[in-house]
């Protein structure tokens, strides 16, 4: 669990440093199936992946406001 989360974070950081492009970190790590299901509920429920996607879209919109013309 900790190893997977740590290596995912390291990989995302490396992509950002290499490309200069911000990357939303939306990796779902869980210790068991019950924990994974609790973090990925359907519409209207708690869903970590859905939240990460929403953050990525919002950040892209914000970045677009500050992009050089």
Bridge partners (DSSP) of residue 40 are 47
CA 9 remoteness from chain centre: 10
Confidence class of residue 69 from pLDDT cuts 50, 70 and 90? low
For 17-68, what is each residue's pLDDT tens digit?
A: 999 888 888 787 888 999 888 888 887 788 888 888 888 899 889 888 887 7
- Given a cut of 90, is residue 11 above it in pLDDT? yes
Which DSSP string do the residues of 5-54 spell out, in sequence order? HHHHHHHHHHHHHHH-----------SSHHHHHHTB--TTS-BHHHHHHH
| Token digits of residue 39 | 């973090």
Q: What is the mean pLDDT of residues 9-15?
A: 93
Give the model's pLDDT for residue 13. Answer: 93
């Amino acid at each position: 669990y900790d190893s997977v989360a740590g290596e995912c974070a390291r990989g995302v950081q490396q992509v950002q440093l290499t490309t200069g492009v911000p990357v939303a970190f939306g990796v779902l790590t869980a210790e068991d199936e019950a924990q994974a299901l609790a973090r990925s509920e359907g519409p209207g429920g708690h869903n970590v992946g859905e939240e990460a996607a929403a953050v990525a879209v919002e950040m892209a919109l914000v970045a677009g406001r500050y992009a050089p013309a």
